[in-house]
A and B are shown apart, each in its own frame.
Chain A
Amino acid sequence: GQSLEQPSEVTAVEGAIVQINCTYQTSGFYGLSWYQQHDGGAPTFLSYNALDGLEETGRFSSFLSRSDSYGYLLLQELQMKDSASYFCAVGDGGATNKLIFGTGTLLAVQP
Chain B
Amino acid sequence: EPEVTQTPSHQVTQMGQEVILRCVPISNHLYFYWYRQILGQKVEFLVSFYNNEISEKSEIFDDQFSVERPDGSNFTLKIRSTKLEDSAMYFCASSDADRFHEQYFGPGTRLTVT
Contacts and interface: CB of A to CB of B under 8 A. Distances in A.
A40 B103 contact: no
Interface stretch (A10-18, A76-84, A90-98): A90-98
B87 to A, nearest CB: 13
Contacts of B95: 97
Interface in A66-92: 87, 89, 91
B75 interface: no
A50 B101 contact: yes
Contacts, number: 69
Contacts of B55: 94-96
Contacts of B45: 98-101
Contact of B43 (A48, A97, A101): A101
A50 B42 CA distance: 22
A45 B104 CA distance: 7
A104 B108 contact: no
A43 interface: yes
Nearest to B48: A96
B101 A33 contact: yes
A97 B100 contact: yes
A35 B100 CA distance: 14
A42 B107 contact: yes
Contacts of A97: 31, 95, 100-101
Interface of B: 4, 31, 33, 35, 37, 39, 42-45, 48-50, 55-56, 89, 91, 95, 100-108
Interface of A: 30-31, 33, 35, 40-45, 48, 50, 87, 89, 91, 94-104
